Every structure is written in C-alpha cells, then in structure tokens.
Amino acid sequence: MRTVKTRHPSFPGVEMDSAMDVRPDVIWQVLCGDRGHWRAGIYSPSERSAEECIELEKHNCPELFVLLEGKLTLLIAKDRQLIELPLEPGKPVLVQSPHSGFCPDGPHTGRALVVERDEFDTEYSEPKNWTPNQTITMPIA
C-alpha cells in the first residue's frame, strides 16, 4: 500500500467567467478549485473492465461523482466485496470506500465530474487488499 498527500496548490488557476478546456483521453484532469474547500475535475478511465483495475484508491474524505457523458462504472470495495456501480446521468454518487473506475465501451468513452476537497490523503492498493477472502462456515447437516 502506498499513500499520497494532496496539498495546496492542488488545482490550476483559471480565468473566471469563461469556459475551461477539457483534454480528451486524459484519466484525471483537475479543472479548478477553492483553496481550503474543494477542487473539481474530469475523470475518464482508460480501463475497460473491473479486471483491468489493478489499484483502488481511498481518500480520507468523500468525493462526489456525476456522469457527464458515455458509460462509466465505479468499482467499489464495500463490505469485503467488489461492487460494480454503473453511473447514471443526473444521479450523483458520494464515494467514501476504496474505488476505481472503468469505461465498458472502451478507454475514455465515459466522463464524470468529480468534486473533492482540495487537500486530502489517499491510500492506493490492489483490489484484493481491500477485499480479503472471507472464510464461510457451513453448518453440518
């Protein structure tokens, strides 16, 4: 497991009251923010399936995902299992658990707006480290 600390400056300066450029084929592009409060960016994974997600991340604060276009599925480690959560247009998802994402229609074919704090810590690890194997005890018949 590795840890990354995100601290100020964690977002670029932008020209106010004007459109921002979103780069195609970029996994994570931080767009803007408000120091001491939040930052926003565009998330567009290159992975095409849960099997291609070799690492999950967990922030020490929640982050908000809103699907903008295409198809994007979050892979979330919750209750000791991996859950695939397809994002739906107009239905925000607040994520606290370890997670990653993939675009089932191909690399960068889905995009989500993400809002998170402007300073936070992130732990990264393989999916198996977030979902250890459970021992299931079966009753004797």
Q: pTM above the 0.85 mark?
A: yes
Most confident option among 76-85, 100-109, 127-136: 100-109
- Judge if the upstream peptide bond of residue 92 is cis by omega within 30 degrees of 0: no
- The string of pLDDT tens digits covering residues 57-71 is 999 999 999 999 999
Instruction: Report how far apart the first and last C-alpha atoms of the chain are (Å, whole number).
Output: 42
- The string of pLDDT tens digits covering residues 28-38 is 999 999 999 99
- The string of pLDDT tens digits covering residues 114-128 is 999 999 999 999 999
Calpha distance 16→88 (Å, rounded): 29
Taking 50 as the threshold, does the pLDDT of residue 141 lie above it?
Answer: no
Q: 10 with 30: CB under 8 angstroms?
A: yes
Taking 50 as the threshold, does the pLDDT of residue 112 lie above it?
Answer: yes
In the chain, what are the domains? 2-130 (2.60.120.10)
Residues whose CB falls within 8 Å of the CB of residue 23, separated by 6 or more in sequence, listed in order: 29
pLDDT band at 133 (very low <50, low <70, confident <90, very high): low
